[in-house]
Amino acid sequence: MSNPRAWSLLAVDGARQYGGNTGYQDDPSQVYRYDSFVANHQQVSKNDVVVIRSSLGVLGVAQITSIELGKGEKERQRCPICGVSDIKRRTTIEPPWVCRNRHEFVEPVREKVTVETFAAHYGETFRPAPSGLTLDRLAAAVVRPNDQMSIKEIDLVRIEPWFRDDAECNSLLKKFVRDIDIDNVDNGTDADPPHSIIEARRRVLREVNERRGQAKFRNRLIARYGAACQISRCAFAGLVEAAHIRPYAETNDNGANNGLLLRSDLHTLFDLDLLAINPSTLTVALHPDVRAAGYEAFDGISIFLNGTSGPDLAALADRWECFQLRQVADDAPSQSVPAAILVE
């Protein structure tokens, strides 16, 4: 799964000409047609948000529900002097045609070419453009500005305020936010808008990813032990985290031998040295306060190894020593387990 993206699409009623191509037929409120000669044609995907624009203004917003693939022939037009397809017809200057290299000519060279065709359908999700979303504001949201591109990627965060102020567009925005994938969430910056619901969602997912552990490290452990907590056997992916035995900050060790898959609350207890694995028996030991807080069922059980040799015993021994030192230190009046890590 990949994160949804957002695009600005140039569309007009009837046929349009772009970059030397002719023959596009657009119905801006229903479908957007393009082909393999159009920049970004491979990037647009189902569930992406699109903002449809014309030369006069922003027409509407939608979310792609399907993309129909095909093949076809179309007429390709080129400059007769240098052969480039980046040409433009002028209405008030003679000769009427000019290319990007400034060659002027009366008629382009015309050729038939075979292309892959795409029809992005979104009619059932189409909404009129939110009030205040102008072409200038849309242009400011373009990720890589290029006036010659009819499909431009945009950063939806930059035009999010106008979506939020429109009830129908706001529902589309919330759907976009829900579709952000935890495993592919991008990195944030200090410049992230503080009131953006998109960035707020990304921050939450980044924090969950950090708790889960680095993706490659976690995947190594899942490949070794299966996708479940090695103590509780909880298999709900959102709660199973990759725990370093020897802290990564000290060792830079992301090997499977230096890790355990633990439910989030058990991971916290392990990091606090309130839970440990006996390196001699590979069984769970709990701090007395943890047992008293409702975790007694896990005390003394063997960790799940999935038929492997298990984690590094020397690393477990180091953590076992920390666990024992913690118990000695806590022989003074008992410390209560932080409420935030307890589960029913």
Mean pLDDT in runs of 10 for the chain (344 residues)?
85 52 68 91 93 93 95 90 92 94 95 92 93 94 83 92 90 87 59 72 74 78 95 93 85 86 94 94 95 95 95 94 84 54 50
Asked if 9 contacts 51 with a C-beta cutoff of 8 angstroms, the reply is yes
Domain that holds residue 230: 214-341
**Last residue in a domain, options 128, 150, 178:** 178
Domain presence at residue 335:
yes
Domain identity same for 218 and 142: no
Compute the distance between CA of residue 216 and CA of residue 12 in angstroms, rounded to an integer: 46
Domain identity same for 17 and 137: yes
Compute the distance between CA of residue 102 and CA of residue 235 in angstroms, rounded to an integer: 64
pLDDT of res. 179: 83
Domain identity same for 173 and 218: no
Residue 132: what are its φ and ψ, rounded to 5°? 95, -10
**283-288 long-range CB contacts below 8 Å, 24 or more apart?**
284/231, 285/320, 285/323, 287/323, 287/326, 287/327, 287/330, 287/337, 288/327, 288/330, 288/334
pLDDT of res. 305: 96
pLDDT of res. 16: 46
Compute the distance between CA of residue 127 and CA of residue 153 in angstroms, rounded to an integer: 19
Domain identity same for 142 and 254: no
Domain identity same for 142 and 31: yes
Spell out the residues 6+ positions from residue 106 whose beta carbon is closer than 8 angstroms to its own: 95, 96, 97
pLDDT of res. 177: 86
Domain identity same for 114 and 171: yes
Domain identity same for 160 and 289: no
Domain identity same for 168 and 222: no
Domain presence at residue 88:
yes
**Last residue in a domain, options 153, 178, 203:** 178
- Structural domain total, the chain: 2
Asked if 263 contacts 211 with a C-beta cutoff of 8 angstroms, the reply is no
Domain identity same for 12 and 148: yes
pLDDT of res. 203: 81
- Residue 127 structure tokens: 């909404």
The separation between the first and the last C-alpha atoms of the chain, rounded to the nearest angstrom, is 32
Asked if 63 contacts 48 with a C-beta cutoff of 8 angstroms, the reply is yes
Domain presence at residue 44:
yes
Domain identity same for 125 and 250: no
Domain presence at residue 133:
yes
